[in-house]
């Protein structure tokens, strides 16, 4: 039987980000989230005739900040276009967007190249009222225009991702970066971060692109990965059975795992793009670009590089800390406390702390101060307490706060040191209790160390250092 062709997934993302400006993209209505429907509207964002749009300067500023954070070229002169289509959530009959000259072009974030970033306005929100909204016996949908006109940045990547997991990880990096620069809440569940995934397959080794499908608006990181995985599977089956992939837009239903076609792919000419006649071209001056650059903080990817380079953390650990700024901040304050803990040890113990605090918790709002945390790590490094005792102290710090030194004293968790006779006595007891294991170790089977060390750990309630126990066992066996 001929070997089946191996296919490689090719994925590009289109991300919509709601910008955290005070007012909408082209009018003075304030942005709202969760306010009563249709309380943030005006003739302009309702698309009434005779009104004129005005570009929101703050949105442009944020757009430039995004472009700079992604290493894009900022266009000195870009253009807004009308993208025409009919839908009840679009009262003007067109969306003001950017077309051939976007505000930002090119760039890169991590391993993924950026194609472009442009500004546009969000549509209103359709609320499907269901049976409770019956009018004359029929189910109705209502429109909430509060969202209509919210500033959006659309970020389009090059097709550089190769797996569902990579897509999810990269989107996490993008979210972290956008959050760090403060331009958006970037919350998928609330819709301030929305992601479409373009997916195709090609034979491994080929450099041509296959026919792609587009998965619309997946509203969580988990669903994004699930949807891509399902689509890769569907396309693999098609290609393996010799059928072509149709270029179309699909909806992924996470509950059933099914992918249903929304519409066949529209082309740019379907939208009858033309330059927005009511807006002059957008000129991004050197002053505007400098002002945006001046507001950029250290970006998460740069922070990860600094943690790995200057502090010598393993790359993976450096990213874990840098991509969750609240963890990176806590880590850096603990490091600056100068308690004598090494960066690598601090970073390792951060993992234990995060586990104890629970998923997504910010250590800064826990009872554990960075100073207490740093001195705990120093105590373990100096072997004043064992690692097991260290974990116990972290648990107590999380529960009640306070000073690790005091807790160690109170709980009697101080390490039993090697020159303490009582530790020698416990080791002797371990050898006597399990002569078979002792004999095996003596004859060179080091696996038999396990039960002996375990015995001592139990007897000392984890207060003895593993390395010391090992050393004493060897010593007492004359090795
Ligand atoms: P469209 O005109 O259909 O919107 P674009 O060329 O503008 O397509 O690309 C939209 C997105 O799809 C980009 O993120 C791009 O990287 C991605 N993309 C383009 N072609 C492919 C392909 N063959 N496979 C996967 N992704 C693709
Ligand atoms: Mg597209
Ligand atoms: Zn308005």
Q: When comparing pLDDT for 155 and 420, which is higher?
A: 155
Q: When comparing pLDDT for 141 and 12, which is higher?
A: 12
Cα dihedral 350, 168, 107, 154 sign: negative
CA distance 184 to 190: 12
Q: When comparing pLDDT for 31 and 129, which is higher?
A: 31
CA distance 362 to 346: 16
CB 86 within 8 A of CB 106: no
Listed residue (464, 467, 479) closest to 425, CA to CA:
464
In angstroms, what is the span from residue 21 Cα to ligand 2's centroid?
A: 25
CA distance 349 to 346: 5
Q: What is the mean pLDDT of residues 13-28?
A: 98
pLDDT of 51 over the 90 cut: yes
pLDDT at 412: 84
Matching residue, tokens 């270029």: 247
pLDDT of 265 over the 90 cut: no
pLDDT at 30: 98
CB neighbourhood size of 136 (10 A): 5
pLDDT of 414 over the 90 cut: no
In angstroms, what is the span from residue 103 Cα to ligand 3's centroid?
A: 23
pLDDT at 315: 93
Q: What size, in residues, is the chain?
A: 479
Listed residue (406, 323, 388) closest to 360, CA to CA:
323
Min mean pLDDT across 46-50, 138-142, 211-215, 382-386 is at: 138-142
Min mean pLDDT across 190-199, 231-240, 334-343 is at: 334-343
- Dmax (CA) for the chain in angstroms is 97
CB neighbourhood size of 54 (10 A): 14
Q: What is the DSSP letter of 281?
A: P
Q: Phi/psi at 92 (nearest 5 deg)?
A: -75, -20
Reported confidence tier of residue 135, pLDDT bands at 50, 70, 90:
low
C-alpha Rg value of the chain to the nearest Å: 30
In angstroms, what is the span from residue 168 Cα to ligand 1's centroid?
A: 17
Q: What is the mean pLDDT of residues 270-291?
A: 96
Ligand nearest to the CA of 213: 1
Candidate from 7, 10, 12 with most ligand 1 atoms within 8 A of CB, to mutate? 12
Q: What are the residues facing 195 on neighbouring strands?
A: 15, 218
Ligand 1 site residues (CB inside 6 A) read 10-14, 115, 156-159, 198-200, 209-210, 212
Reported confidence tier of residue 460, pLDDT bands at 50, 70, 90:
confident
Candidate from 115, 206, 212 with most ligand 1 atoms within 8 A of CB, to mutate? 212
Nearest CA to ligand 1 atom 1: 267
Contacts of 193 (CB under 8 A, 6+ apart): 15, 16, 17, 18, 175, 178, 184, 185, 186, 187
Q: Phi/psi at 264 (nearest 5 deg)?
A: -75, 160
Reported confidence tier of residue 457, pLDDT bands at 50, 70, 90:
confident
Domains and CATH numbers, the chain: 7-294 (no CATH), 300-411 (no CATH), 421-476 (1.10.10)
pLDDT at 68: 98
CA distance 479 to 473: 9
Candidate from 9, 159, 269 with most ligand 1 atoms within 8 A of CB, to mutate? 159
pLDDT at 458: 86
Contacts of 189 (CB under 8 A, 6+ apart): 219, 220
pLDDT at 71: 97
Distance of CA 84 to the CA centre of its chain: 34
- What do you get for the CA distance between the two ends of the chain, in Å? 59
pLDDT at 423: 86
CB 122 within 8 A of CB 149: yes
């Amino acid at each position: 039987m001929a070997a089946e062709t191996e296919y490689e997934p090719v994925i590009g993302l289109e991300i919509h980000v709601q910008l955290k400006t005070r007012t909408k993209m082209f009018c003075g209505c304030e942005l709202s989230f969760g306010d009563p429907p249709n309380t943030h509207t005006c003739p302009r964002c309702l698309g009434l005739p005779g009104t004129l749009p005005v570009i929101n300067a703050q949105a442009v500023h944020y757009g430039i900040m995004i472009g700079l954070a992604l290493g894009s070229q900022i266009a000195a002169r870009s253009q807004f276009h009308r993208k025409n289509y009919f839908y009840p959530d679009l009262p003007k009959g067109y969306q003001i967007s950017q077309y051939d000259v976007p505000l930002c072009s090119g760039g890169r974030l991590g391993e993924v190249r950026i194609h472009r970033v442009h500004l546009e306005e969000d549509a209103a929100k359709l609320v499907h009222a269901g049976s409770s909204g019956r009018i004359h016996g029929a189910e109705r949908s209502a429109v909430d225009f509060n969202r209509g006109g919210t500033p959006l940045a659309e970020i389009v990547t090059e097709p550089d991702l190769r797996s569902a997991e990579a897509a999810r990880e990269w989107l996490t990096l993008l979210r972290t970066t956008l959050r760090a620069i403060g331009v958006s809440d970037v919350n998928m569940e609330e819709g301030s971060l929305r992601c479409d995934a373009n997916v195709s397959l090609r034979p491994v080794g080929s450099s041509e692109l296959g026919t792609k499908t587009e998965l619309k608006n997946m509203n969580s990181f988990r669903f994004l990965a699930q949807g891509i995985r399902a689509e890769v599977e569907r396309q693999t089956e098609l290609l393996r059975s010799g059928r072509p992939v149709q270029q179309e837009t699909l909806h992924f239903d996470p509950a059933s795992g099914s992918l249903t076609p929304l519409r066949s792919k529209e082309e740019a000419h379907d939208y009858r793009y033309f330059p927005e006649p009511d807006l002059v071209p957008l000129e991004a001056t050197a002053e505007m670009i400098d002002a945006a650059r001046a507001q950029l903080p250290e970006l998460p990817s740069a922070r990860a590089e600094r943690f790995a380079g200057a502090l010598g953390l393993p790359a993976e650990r450096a990213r874990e800390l840098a991509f969750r700024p609240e963890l990176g901040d806590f880590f850096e304050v603990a490091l600056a406390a100068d308690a004598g803990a090494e960066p690598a040890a601090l970073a390792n113990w951060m993992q234990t702390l995060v586990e104890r605090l629970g998923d997504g918790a910010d250590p800064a709002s826990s009872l554990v101060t960075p100073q207490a945390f740093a001195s705990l790590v120093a105590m373990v490094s100096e072997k004043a307490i064992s690692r097991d005792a260290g974990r116990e102290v972290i648990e107590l710090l999380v529960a009640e706060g306070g000073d690790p030194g005091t807790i160690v004293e109170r709980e009697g968790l101080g390490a039993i040191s090697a020159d303490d006779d009582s530790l020698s006595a416990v080791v002797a007891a371990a050898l006597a209790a399990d002569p078979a294991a002792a004999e095996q170790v003596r004859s060179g089977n080091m696996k038999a160390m396990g039960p002996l060390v375990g015995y001592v750990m139990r007897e000392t309630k984890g207060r003895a250092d593993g390395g010391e126990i090992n050393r004493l066992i060897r010593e007492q066996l004359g090795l």
